[in-house]
Amino acid sequence: MAKLQDRVAIVTGASSGIGLACAERYAREGAIVVGTDIQDSEGWQAVVEASPQSRLHTLDVTDGEAQQALAQKTAAEFGRIDILLTAAGVGDGGPVGWLEEDAWDRVIDINLKGTYLSVKSVLETMCAQRSGSIVTVASVEGINGTEGGSAYNASKGGVVLLTKNIAIDYGRMGIRCNTICPGFIDTPMLRGLMDPMPDVKADIIGEVKMGRLGKPEEIAGAACFLASDDASFVTGHTLVVDGGYTAGHSHGIVQMMGLV
């Protein structure tokens, strides 16, 4: 049987990149997927083909009232909400002294406040049914700093700790909450940030121990595990999926030894 058969999942940021890949995987595993994003997506057709009751709504995650209304509508229509995955996010930053206040606010509002509002919107339903799996999407940049990543890193670090608090506060209600920290994944957002800086991109790939960028589908595999009964005793966990980027530094020694 599919891992998520007949479960109801809300996925934010579902029109592209990691969010779309997770929505597709959830649908293939039998879930009804209610996706949200600020833009439509031709790729969403694959979700509907796998799970015909699935649909994509236009929604801004910083709009708490809209999030609450969608969660209530979803629970009323399908009778429950089993899974929430929060993939909506933006990348921006720069050294603090250079960073404009409105840029800081935008990143924090979407990445951190948007996660809080998404989780808040489903808790009433999950508490009533005394079950649920919440999977937040943070980043390796939320556990290790990177040059110029002030706002983004702060927002994702906040997601990591928010996730732990949700796990602590709601575990006895049968609700699990875990976060995935993707490394550098080949998504439209990453390409938009990194393609203008090819030398930086090459240096980053050089620090990935597997020698390549990750694929959105590889994050979706982790997200499927955390949402499923296979992770029934996993909560408050930070799952790093980064090809070894944060494992440590490489200095060419293994090449000198002829191991690669």
Q: Is residue 202 part of a domain?
A: yes
Q: Is residue 44 part of a domain?
A: yes
Q: Is residue 112 part of a domain?
A: yes
Distant-in-sequence, close-in-space partners of 199: CB < 8 Å, separation ≥ 6: none
Q: Is the pLDDT of residue 258 over 80?
A: no
Give the per-residue pLDDT at 214: 94
Give the per-residue pLDDT at 80: 98
Distant-in-sequence, close-in-space partners of 90: CB < 8 Å, separation ≥ 6: 106, 107, 110, 111, 189
Q: Is residue 2 part of a domain?
A: no
pLDDT tens digits, 161-192: 999 999 999 999 999 999 999 999 988 888 88
Query: In whole angstroms, what is the distance from residue 132 CA to residue 75 CA?
Result: 13
Domain tally, the chain: 1
Cβ neighbours, 10 Å, residue 215:
14
Angle at 145 between CA 140 and CA 150, to 5 degrees: 110
The CA-to-CA distance between both ends of the chain, in Å, stands at 41
Query: In whole angstroms, what is the distance from residue 156 CA to residue 143 CA?
Result: 8
Q: Is residue 1 part of a domain?
A: no
The CATH number assigned to the domain holding 21 equals: 3.40.50.720
Tell me what the mean pLDDT of segment 9-26 comes to. 97
The residue count for the chain:
260
Give the per-residue pLDDT at 85: 98
Number of H helices, E strands in the chain: 10, 7
Q: What is the mean pLDDT of the chain?
A: 94
Q: Is residue 3 part of a domain?
A: no
Query: Confidence band (pLDDT; 50, 70, 90) for 224?
Result: very high
- Which of 26, 116, 152, 170 is catalytic? The answer is 152
Q: Residue 161 corresponds to which amino acid?
A: L
Domain that holds residue 108: 8-256
170 carries an active-site annotation: no
Q: H helices of the chain, where?
A: 17-28, 44-50, 64-78, 101-107, 114-129, 150-170, 188-194, 198-207, 216-227, 253-256
Sheet holding 55-58, edge to edge: 55-58, 32-37, 8-12, 83-86, 132-137, 175-182, 238-241
